[in-house]
């Protein structure tokens, strides 16, 4: 008997069993994947239909306000006169006539350098000048007697003038050995000691004229037409919280910076107690005539982002289309809170000046509209909200953190 079975019926039976097995396997896997797909679809539908939980926020109305017409800008104080006192000629320090922090008058002696060599040379030149003067007098008498010519007398005059000029030049060198204050002011910390050799140009001490004192600040070119010398300014500094210093605009730079489109303004303030120092930072306010009418909201109502500033307007919630069907809006069960009646809508705005706790809105809102002032990070467009204004931070146009 042949071991290889070539019976056509047997071969067909095996193929049928193989086909049925593959069919059953495909049905099983298809059912499994179908159930997973149906489950995922049902779950997505459930989450899509799930109501968004309301967020609790506080609100404020967009309010028309009348602001004082003023400008604010940062500035830096500069001395009316300020310099590093240096030596013009070298020498050894013979005497120091000041202490660090002294207040000095213009021309007051600060440091004396050894000038013995220069003084000796001055005496020699003075002797030569005296001799030249005697020679001039002799030749003047001889000229009257017609013993010498006019040219000899003129030469004597020239010699005398040259000798006197040499004396004046040497006297100036001797005077440079006495260093004096070029103007009245406050001295800083001295950087020299007795017996120290000073090379020309060595810094000795800082001298600053502090009363009055100037402040420089920059303003955008759009304000050039309203800023003029004489307007009052008020400056606050971090070193003296709660205190302000008053002054007036002294001058306006005639050119506009092409890079920043700003112009520089200099103000001058009285500083009799010398509390203000050159280099200090100041927050300046410039008062202008008139008032400015604005629409303002609290600063906490503004949401800043890379694509613009926006606010969340609070309005009555719009019911979806399905809400018209009775079966789509069942009544809440006993003990369950009612559905929120308000929602927020995000709206982009154009912001203006910031004044205290308020921001001026130039475009995007109307007076009387309600905006969210807290919880902005958890809000999105058309999100239901619950308004709770029982606890709200106090906002002021001119806040003073030092009070209370």
Distance CA(210)–CA(269), nearest Å, equals: 10
pLDDT of residue 76: 92
DSSP 36-105: HHHHHHHHHHHHHHSPPPPEEE-EEE-EEEEEEEEEEEEEEEEEEEEEEEE-SS-EEEEEE---TT-EE-
User: Which of 356, 363, 353, 359 has its CA nearest to residue 373?
Assistant: 359
Fold of 115-176: Helix Hairpins (1.10.287)
Q: Which CATH superfamily is domain 71-78+209-291 in?
A: Efflux pump adaptor protein, beta barrel domain (2.40.30.170)
Fold of 55-67+294-322+339-387: 2.40.420
Length of the chain: 404
Domain positions in the chain: 55-67+294-322+339-387, 71-78+209-291, 88-113+178-201, 115-176
CATH of segment(s) 88-113+178-201: 2.40.50.100
pLDDT of residue 399: 64
pLDDT of residue 251: 92
Distance CA(393)–CA(58), nearest Å, equals: 10
Distance CA(130)–CA(160), nearest Å, equals: 8
Containing H/E element for 310?
A: strand 308-316
Distance CA(262)–CA(220), nearest Å, equals: 4
Tens of pLDDT, residues 215-236 = 999 988 888 888 889 888 999 9
Model-level pTM? 0.58
pLDDT of residue 326: 44
Q: At 224, list the tokens.
A: 């050039």
Tens of pLDDT, residues 32-78 = 888 888 877 777 776 665 566 788 888 888 989 888 788 888 999 99
User: Which segments in the chain show pLDDT lower than 70?
Assistant: 1-11, 46-52, 319-340, 392-393, 397-404
Q: At 168, list the tokens.
A: 């004046």
The pair phi, psi for residue 248, each rounded to 5°, is -140, 160
How many CA atoms lie within 13 Å of 222's alpha carbon, on the beta-carbon side? 2
Task: Find the angle CA(17)-CA(21)-CA(25) to the nearest 5 degrees.
Answer: 170
397 CB neighbour count, 10 Å cutoff? 12
SS3 label, residue 305? strand
Question: Would you call 392 exposed, middle or buried from its count of C-beta atoms within 10 A (0-12, 13-18, 19+)?
Answer: middle
């Amino acid at each position: 008997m042949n071991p290889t079975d070539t019976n056509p019926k047997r071969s067909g039976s095996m193929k049928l069993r193989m086909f049925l097995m593959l069919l059953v396997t495909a049905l099983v896997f298809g059912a499994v994947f179908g159930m997973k797909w149906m489950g995922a679809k049902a779950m997505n539908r459930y989450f899509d239909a799930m109501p968004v939980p309301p967020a609790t926020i506080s609100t404020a109305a967009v309010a028309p306000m009348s602001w004082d017409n003023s400008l604010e800008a940062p500035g830096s104080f500069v001395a009316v006169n300020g310099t590093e006192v240096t030596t013009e000629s070298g020498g050894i320090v013979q005497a120091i006539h000041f202490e660090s922090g002294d207040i000095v008058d213009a021309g007051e002696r600060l440091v004396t350098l050894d000038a013995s060599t220069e003084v000796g040379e001055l005496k020699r030149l003075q002797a030569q000048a005296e001799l030249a003067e005697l020679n001039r007098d002799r030749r003047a008498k001889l000229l009257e007697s017609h013993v010498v010519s006019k040219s000899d007398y003129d030469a004597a005059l020239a010699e005398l003038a040259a000798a006197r000029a040499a004396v004046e030049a040497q006297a100036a060198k001797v005077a440079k050995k006495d260093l004096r204050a070029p103007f009245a002011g406050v001295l800083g910390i001295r950087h020299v000691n007795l017996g120290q050799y000073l090379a020309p140009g060595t810094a000795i001490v800082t001298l600053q004229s502090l009363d009055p004192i100037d402040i420089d600040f920059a303003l955008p070119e759009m304000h050039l037409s309203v800023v003029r010398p004489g307007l009052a300014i008020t400056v606050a500094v971090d070193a003296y919280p709660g205190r302000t210093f008053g002054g007036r605009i002294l001058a306006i730079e005639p050119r506009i910076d092409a890079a920043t489109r700003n112009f520089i303004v200099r103000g001058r303030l009285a500083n009799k107690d010398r509390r203000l120092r050159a280099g200090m930072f100041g927050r300046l306010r410039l008062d202008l005539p008139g008032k400015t009418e604005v629409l303002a909201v609290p600063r906490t109502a503004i949401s800043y982002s890379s694509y613009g500033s926006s606010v969340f307007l609070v309005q009555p919630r719009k019911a979806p289309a399905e809400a018209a069907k009775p079966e789509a809006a069942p009544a809440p069960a006993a003990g369950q809170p009612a559905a929120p009646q308000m929602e927020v809508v995000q709206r982009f705005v154009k912001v203006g000046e910031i004044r205290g706790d308020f921001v001026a809105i130039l475009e995007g809102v109307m007076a009387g509209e309600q905006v969210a002032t807290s919880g902005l990070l958890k809000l999105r467009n058309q999100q239901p909200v619950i308004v709770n204004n029982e606890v709200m931070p106090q906002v002021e146009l001119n806040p003073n953190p030092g009070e209370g």
